[in-house]
Each structure stands twice: as C-alpha cells, then as structure tokens.
Chain A
Amino acid sequence: GDSVTQTEGPVTLSEGTSLTVNCSYETKQYPTLFWYVQYPGEGPQLLFKVPKANEKGSNRGFEATYNKEATSFHLQKASVQESDSAVYYCALDVSGGNYKPTFGKGTSLVVHP
C-alpha cells in the first residue's frame, strides 16, 4: 500500500535558523502531495499542495518541491519564527476512486525565541 515517511520529531530550533523536514513517499500511482500544519488545540490545516511532479508549492515562507524521481517532498523554510511551532504532516492522495489520503506520522517543531 501507499506510505509516507517523515522526519521524526521533535525538531527544536532557535528563531532565525533554517528548517528542513524530510518527507519520502511510496505509491504505485501518481499522487498529489500535501503539507498540513496543526497548531496546538486546533485541527490540521492545509499549508499547500502540489499536484504535478517537478513543481513547487509554497505558503507563509514554507516551500517544497515535488520530486518524482527521488519520491520526496521535503519542507523547507529559510528562517523560522516562534509562531511556526506546530506539528507538520506530509500526505499523499491518489484519489480517483480511492478517497483515502495517506499521512505521515507528523513532525513536531518547537522554535525558541
């Protein structure tokens, strides 16, 4: 079946430093890839999605490139802020009858001032 593997957390950073959260996926189909963010006390919300290989998604300073050859979708941010502290989920969806997205286990990010 489909699977998503991402950096195991927690990841602890100081404000102003750079972030990379690795995400690798496995599927025999052609997925759309997603990053979701979950702030404390809330449900996950979409950060961005990328439906096509070799394209980049971005939002709020975060970005990730859909690398079909490497089956990766790593999340990056050049300079994190304390308000970025949250749990980040990488996910894939091959809907076209499936309707079941596959999520990674989530990566907790803690940013200290």
Chain B
Amino acid sequence: GGIITQTPKFLIGQEGQKLTLKCQQNFNHDTMYWYRQDSGKGLRLIYYSITENDLQKGDLSEGYDASREKKSSFSLTVTSAQKNEMAVFLCASSIGTGGARYAEQFFGPGTRLTVL
C-alpha cells in the first residue's frame, strides 16, 4: 500500500498573499492531480501532471500555478488569495499509464484553506 501526504492540513492566508500547498505520494504513480472542493460543487480539476516535469491545465487553472518537482511530489500555488475564500484542496495520484482503463485515483486528506 501507499499513502498521499498533504501539507499543511490547515492554511490561513491574507488577501493577495501567495500560498503554496504540497503533496507527496509513495505509490510510485506517474500521474498526479490537484482538485478544489467547494461545498455543493463537487471536485474541480485545477492542474494535473502525467509524469515528472509535465503540467496540464484543468478546468480551474486560472489563479493557480503548479510544479511537479519529481515523480513523488506535486505542489500547487495560489498566486493571489481571494478574501473570504474557503475551500478544500485535494491531491490525488493514479498509475495513469496510457490505456490503464482500470486505474482509480488515490486521494490525500486535503488542505483546508481560509483567506481572511
């Protein structure tokens, strides 16, 4: 088995601040994802990375940057935090090799962001 670790667990920022969230996985998975979860809106894909040094924009990439420093880690930066923003950011990974029809995603516990 493996695990996905997200740091920090809680993140409180100020309006306009640049904030970085980190994710580590020890599954040796190729593909990693960042999702934003807002109440009643499900999971929205921000960025994903098929392999080390690859970056792909999701549906909600504006206002975010991402970095896949190595196979096991994937960081997300909120470039300018919005006042009163509250959301949970979820990191996930999957085997992701082309044609892996059966590959599910494994999720971390999330980082809860509050912007004052």
Binding site for B on A (CB under 8 A): 32, 34, 36, 41-46, 49, 51, 89, 93, 95-97, 99-101, 103-106
Contact = CB atoms under 8 A, between A and B. Distances in A.
B108 interface: yes
5 nearest CB pairs, A to B:
A43-B107, A105-B42, A46-B104, A103-B43, A106-B42
Interface in B97-116: 98-110
Contacts of B92: 43
Of B45, B100, B101, the most chain A CB neighbours within 10 A belong to B101
Given A43-B108, A49-B104, A106-B42, A99 B48 contact: yes
A95 B96 contact: yes
Given A43-B92, A43-B108, A43-B109, A95 B100 contact: yes
Contacts of B42: 89, 103-106
Q: From DSSP, what is the main secondary structure of chain B's interface residues?
A: loop
Contact of B101 (A43, A44, A95): A95
A51 B43 CA distance: 22
Interface string B20-55: 000000000001000000001111010010100000
B109 A49 contact: no
A111 B32 CA distance: 33
29 contacts: A32-B101, A32-B102, A34-B104, A42-B109, A42-B110, A43-B4, A43-B90, A43-B107, A44-B90, A44-B107, A46-B105, A51-B101, A93-B101, A93-B103, A95-B98, A95-B103, A96-B98, A96-B99, A99-B31, A99-B48, A99-B50, A99-B56, A99-B96, A103-B43, A104-B42, A105-B40, A105-B41, A105-B42, A106-B42
